[in-house]
Amino acid sequence: MLATRNILLIVSGSVAAYKALELTRLLRKAGAAVTPILTAGGARFVTKEALAGISGSRVHDDLWAAEAEIGHIRLARWPDLVVVAPASANLLAKMAHGIADDLATTVLLATRAPILAAPAMNPAMWTHPATAANMAALAARGVATVGPEEGAMAEPESGPGRLAEPAAILSAIERRFAEGPLTGRHVIVTSGPTQEAIDLVRYIANRSSGRQGHAIAAALAALGARVTLVSGPVAITDPPGVAVRRVESARDMLAAVEAALPADAAVFAAAVADFRPEAAPKQKIKKEPGAPPPDIRLALNPDILATVARHPASRPRLVVGFAAETERVVEHAQAKRARKGCDWIVANDVSGDVMGGAENAVHLVTAGGVEDWPRMPKEDVARRLAARIAEALA
C-alpha cells in the first residue's frame, strides 16, 4: 500500500519525539520513502543522525539551507502525505494561524498534500481552550489527526495528550491511501451529546457516549472516505485518520456542519438536545435558603438534520438521520424521515443500555421499507451502515 508513497515526516519539540524513529522504521518497512524535517525543538530530543540513518534520507532542519539547495516549494510538492509526529502545541498553533517562521511551518503553509497530525503535549495544554480552537480550525481545513491517547506522561501525571503509538499512526497513514469504495468521497458525521448551558457551571445534556457516531466515522474512513467528524463533548478517543471538529452546543454543531459542506453524504448520529435555556446567566445561579427553585424558560434548538436535508445549495446526495426512541420505534422513525426530509433514518430503542453501551439493535428506515438489524456490537453496526452508504453512492 505504501510502496510508491512519499512521506514527509515533520518531527517537532516533544519528549515523545523518540517515537518518530520507530514510526520512520515502520514506514520504511512498509515501502514508503521518508524525508524528515526536524524542528529546533525536535532536535532537543532526537538527532539528525538518528533520523537520517533510519530514514535513509537527508534530514532537513534549516530553511535557508533548504532554500539554497532545493527550495521549500519543491520540498512541499514532493510528498503524497505530510505527517507531523509529534505535533507540539506550539506547532499546531502556528499551523492554525498560518505562521511560517522556520522550514517546517513554511512547508506546511506551502504544501497542497494532505496533512496528518499526531498531537503530543501535557494534558493541561491539550485541554486548554486555545488548543481546542486551533484544532477546530485545522479540522475545518481538512487536517486529519490521530490521537492523542490517554496515559502516563513524562511528567508525574496522566491524562489526554500522550502521542499515539507508532503502529497506530502507521495504520492511520495506511488508511489515507487505502483504495476503497468511498475513496474520493467526503462524508460528515455528527456524534455525541450537546451541552446547553444553564449558567456558567450547569448544562442540559443526555447520556450519549458518542461511541456509535465515532465508530461510524472510523468505518467510513476505513472504506476510503475523507471524514469530518463533528463531535459534542465525549470521553472517548478520536477515530484515527479523521478530521475532528469539537463543539458543545447544538448551535455550535450546526455551524460546524455547515462549514464542512459540501459533502457527498452526512450521517447525523449525535444526540442533539432539542431545547436550550432561553437565557444563560453569566454567573452561577445561587440557591437561596427558603426560596423556590428558579424558573428556566426553554427555547427550541436549531434542527440540524432538517436544515441540512433541505439545504438550498449544498445538500449532500445522501442524508442519514438517527432516531433514539423508547416506544413505537419504527413508527416514529418513519414519521421523522418524512418530516425532516432526509433519505434514511437509523432508529433504535434507547430505553435499555444502548446509550453508553457496547451494542446496538437498529432499524434502517428508507423510502423502500424497513430493515431490522439484529443486536450487534456498535462497531459492526457502523461497518454495515458504511457499506450501505458506499452502495448508495456508487
Q: What is the DSSP string of 154-179?
A: SSS-EEEEEPPPHHHHHHHHHHHH--
Q: Please tell me the distance from the alpha carbon of residue 71 to that of residue 106, in angstroms, as a whole number.
A: 11
Task: Report CA-CA distances (Å) from 147 to 95, 125, 136, 151.
Answer: 17, 14, 15, 11
Cβ atoms within 10 Å, residue 387: 15
Q: 40-44, 151-155, 239-243: lowest mean pLDDT where?
A: 151-155
As a residue count, the chain comes to: 394
Cell of 46: 532526537
Domains of the chain: 6-177 (3.40.50.1950), 186-393 (3.40.50.10300)
Q: Please tell me the distance from the alpha carbon of residue 188 to that of residue 16, in angstroms, as a whole number.
A: 31
Q: Please tell me the distance from the alpha carbon of residue 73 to that of residue 329, in angstroms, as a whole number.
A: 56
**206, 301, 348, 360: the active-site residue:** 206
Q: Are 230 and 177 in contact (CB under 8 A)?
A: no
Question: So what's the pLDDT on residue 390?
Answer: 95
Q: Please tell me the distance from the alpha carbon of residue 266 to that of residue 272, in angstroms, as a whole number.
A: 15
Q: 61-65, 231-235, 353-357, 372-376: lowest mean pLDDT where?
A: 353-357
Q: How are beta strands 196-197 and 344-349 bridged, if at all?
A: unpaired
- Give residues with Cβ within 8 angstroms of 183, minimum separation 6: 223, 224, 225
Sequence-ordered alpha helix ranges (H) in 159-268: 166-177, 211-222, 250-260
For the chain, give the mean pLDDT: 89
Question: So what's the pLDDT on residue 69?
Answer: 63
Question: So what's the pLDDT on residue 238?
Answer: 86
Question: So what's the pLDDT on residue 263?
Answer: 95
Q: Please tell me the distance from the alpha carbon of residue 164 to that of residue 174, in angstroms, as a whole number.
A: 15
Cβ atoms within 10 Å, residue 196: 23
Q: Please tell me the distance from the alpha carbon of residue 19 to that of residue 163, in angstroms, as a whole number.
A: 8
For 38-56, the pLDDT digits (tens) are 999 999 999 999 999 999 9
Kindly state the average pLDDT of the residues 101-127: 90
To the query of whether residue 6 is one of the catalytic residues in this protein, the response is: no
- Give residues with Cβ within 8 angstroms of 171, minimum separation 6: 240, 241
Question: So what's the pLDDT on residue 70?
Answer: 63
Q: Please tell me the distance from the alpha carbon of residue 115 to that of residue 80, in angstroms, as a whole number.
A: 9
SS3 state of residue 47: coil
Query: In percent, how much of the chain has pLDDT > 70?
Result: 96
For 260-316, the pLDDT digits (tens) are 999 999 999 999 999 999 887 888 888 888 888 888 899 999 999 999 999 888 999
